[in-house]
Structure 1
């Protein structure tokens, strides 16, 4: 029996003003590459974030989005997020995942966790990691996602 594919109902995050928003509503109709990460993760800041930026430049039809998952009670500010970048400008939209709810929603294995979501809001792939094996799986999945239809 084939598994029924249903759209994700929502991905709720907060902006830097702590306003809640649903990414699937905000970016409706666009394929998404979401990277769930944490500033304290060296694989995230050293490999995954730069890779996400490259994907944003390479795939014009994709919307790359960062979601910073928060695993403790310490508030995270826009300055905290920007502190990992060489410029004070974000390379793509980044949102906050208070109490790691999105991280849990997608049963993330750790950070970085990549979510590839179709323009119809269906989870296409979920890939953990930033090392070469994960990068290869991600590249093939992105090519397939972008060349469908």
Structure 2
């Protein structure tokens, strides 16, 4: 595991191609659209064992654990190898089969023909999985290549939510979150 503690700087923009998965009408999702929320983004590939076995299930757990008004969860499919096998159609089938219900953008290929996608290069990602934590002001607060333990990640997200002025989840938040995830909560 390699962790980079970046200076507080604006997170680079995402450059994606094609329609997004799990957004209305496949509309792209920009960082500016998420301002005011903590963003947990994951650079992944569907043929990456660490992504499939650890990072994507963790991202799904983060989505269930935090209220979407405070924490946005986003996947960035950053393909730097096996391009022929990683088509948008294959990604859509993969997301369906693995029940990935958070927005997923496809990182744009390098217009100069390089093998590193545009967003992956903008963040200087070393590979996949790469976790990105972006605060409510749009600043990159953590970038991590490899696995992060759930408890450490949850604590860091909670601190960023609190820093942004987020209060602990109240009863209406709990009920809304439960309903969104097919559970019943005591009002």
Q: TM-score range by the shorter chain?
A: 0.7 to 0.9
1:21 CA displacement? 4.6
Give the aligned partner of residue 90 of structure 2: 80
Unaligned segments of structure 1, at least 5 residues? none
- CA RMSD in angstroms, aligned pairs only: 2.8
The answer to whether the Cα contact below 8 Å between 2:126 and 2:145 also exists between their aligned partners in 1 is yes
The answer to whether the Cα contact below 8 Å between 1:44 and 1:112 also exists between their aligned partners in 2 is yes
Give the aligned partner of residue 7 of structure 1: 10
Structure with more of its chain in strand, by fraction = 1
TM-score with structure 1 setting the length: 0.79
Q: 1:44 aligns with which of 44, 51, 67?
A: 51
Q: 2:157 aligns with which of 138, 142, 145?
A: 142
Label 1:77 to 1:44 Cα distance change in 2 as closer, same or farther (>3 A).
same
Structure 2 CA distance for aligned equivalents of residues 104 and 137 of structure 1: 26
Unaligned segments of structure 2, at least 5 residues? 1-5, 21-25, 110-116, 166-187
Q: Is residue 2:37 matched to residue 1:30? A: yes
Figure out how many residues of one structure are paired with residues of the other and give that number.
143
Structure 2 CA distance for aligned equivalents of residues 74 and 31 of structure 1: 34
